[in-house]
Amino acid sequence: MPKVTIATVADRAGVSRQTVSNVLNTPEVVREETRERVREAITALGYRVSQAARQMRTGRSRLIAVRIEPARDGINGSVLDRFLHGLTDAAAPAGYRVMLYTATDDDGEIATYEDLLTAYDLDAFVLTSTHHGDVRTSWLAERQVPFVTFGRPWGAPDTHSWVDVDNAAGTEAATRHLLGSGHRRIGFLGWPAGSGVGDARRDGWATALSSAGLPSAGLDRAVADGIDPGADAARDLLPSVDALVCASDSLALGALRAARELDHRCAVIGFDDTAVAQAVGLTSVSQPLTEAAARCIDLLAGVLDRSAETRQLLLQPSLVLRQTAP
């Protein structure tokens, strides 16, 4: 089989060899449409970059690290698993390798940073699950360690590059769909205040009701994430609502269970479009996780260049309609 080279990739993608090199080394200078065409050619041809040659030329290891989230209920925990899969898929054509590590909290993760930076020649980190008072970003920034985050810096200035999903837009679209279907008493099951993601998802629901001239007071409950808490909260709300928007698929599954037990007709919409939602016919808000992962890899190139300005990308989710709220 003939050796696949940059010239081979360039011919297949219909671009110059320099453009292929730019996609591999400085993708931020290439138009997105061209990047995707070159990446498709790289994948189709099975092209592999010589890491040793690249490190000698650029002084970079092309090794990035990202945390594996602690196991949760097996439903919503799959969301970040899908992000990691997308990150690995996007990293390979760009010549990056992904190292995974575990940590249970911020302090544990920072301790892991120190260990990894001592033991390995890492280029950068990709952080997930950003939150209010997140000390990880300041620790890395103070030490000039390159990073990007999947998630915005809640309550802090935009001083680094990040990719996030517009959570409020997702629940607002879900609520507007229910309003368009004739529902007028629409409740919300969410998480305790203080979670940036959870607060944004509640805001989207409240905004849609307010825009329709409908009240939201007393129609929401804040509980820990999970099927059982969702069922308990739904039982409390169901007598007074005819539809529920939920901050997660786990809470939505609990709401469905409570509605069946009470024999109460209630439309239900979840968030994250997990495999379980697909299996049971749950209408859910879907995050563009594959795109988010690819954009994180793109932003990393600019961060590693150190001359590029920080960028913030807010991606739009979509509503996937199924039986629970057609």
**Predicted local confidence at residue 71, as pLDDT:** 66
**Predicted local confidence at residue 29, as pLDDT:** 79
- Which ranges of the chain have pLDDT less than 70? 1, 48-60, 71-74, 76-77, 307
Tokens 């081979």: give the residue: 8
Contact in structure between 223 and 251 (CB atoms under 8 Å): yes
What is the distance between the alpha carbons of residues 131 and 101, in angstroms, rounded to a whole number?
19
What is the distance between the alpha carbons of residues 13 and 200, in angstroms, rounded to a whole number?
41
**Predicted local confidence at residue 74, as pLDDT:** 63
Question: Which amino acid is present at 145?
Answer: V
What is the distance between the alpha carbons of residues 269 and 102, in angstroms, rounded to a whole number?
32
The total of other beta-carbon atoms located within 10 Å of residue 192's CB is 11
Contact in structure between 169 and 318 (CB atoms under 8 Å): no
**Predicted local confidence at residue 55, as pLDDT:** 44
**Predicted local confidence at residue 306, as pLDDT:** 72
Contact in structure between 226 and 250 (CB atoms under 8 Å): yes
Task: At 199, list the tokens.
Answer: 């607060």
Contact in structure between 170 and 271 (CB atoms under 8 Å): yes
- CA quadruple 33, 36, 41, 43: dihedral, nearest 10: -170
In CATH, what is the architecture of 167-287?
Answer: 3-Layer(aba) Sandwich (3.40)
In CATH, what is the architecture of 51-164+288-315?
Answer: 3-Layer(aba) Sandwich (3.40)
What is the distance between the alpha carbons of residues 50 and 65, in angstroms, rounded to a whole number?
20
The CATH H-level superfamily of 1-48 is: lambda repressor-like DNA-binding domains (1.10.260.40)
Look at residues 283, 295, 231, 285 and name the one whose alpha carbon lies nearest to residue 258. 231
Question: Which amino acid is present at 157?
Answer: P
Look at residues 250, 256, 286, 285 and name the one whose alpha carbon lies nearest to residue 268. 256
Q: Where are the beta strands (DSSP E) in 104-224?
A: 124-128, 147-150, 162-165, 186-190, 220-222
Reported as type and span, the H/E element at residue 25 is helix 17-25
In eight-state DSSP terms, residue 6 is: H
Give me the residue spans of the domains in the chain: 1-48, 51-164+288-315, 167-287
**Predicted local confidence at residue 234, as pLDDT:** 97
51-164+288-315 and 167-287 agree in CATH topology: yes
User: What's this model's pTM, rounded to 2 decimal places?
Assistant: 0.80
Look at residues 187, 175, 224, 203 and name the one whose alpha carbon lies nearest to residue 76. 224
Contact in structure between 288 and 14 (CB atoms under 8 Å): no
Tokens 């010589």: give the residue: 50
Cα separation values, 188 from 270, 282, 303, Å: 10, 16, 39
**Predicted local confidence at residue 89, as pLDDT:** 93
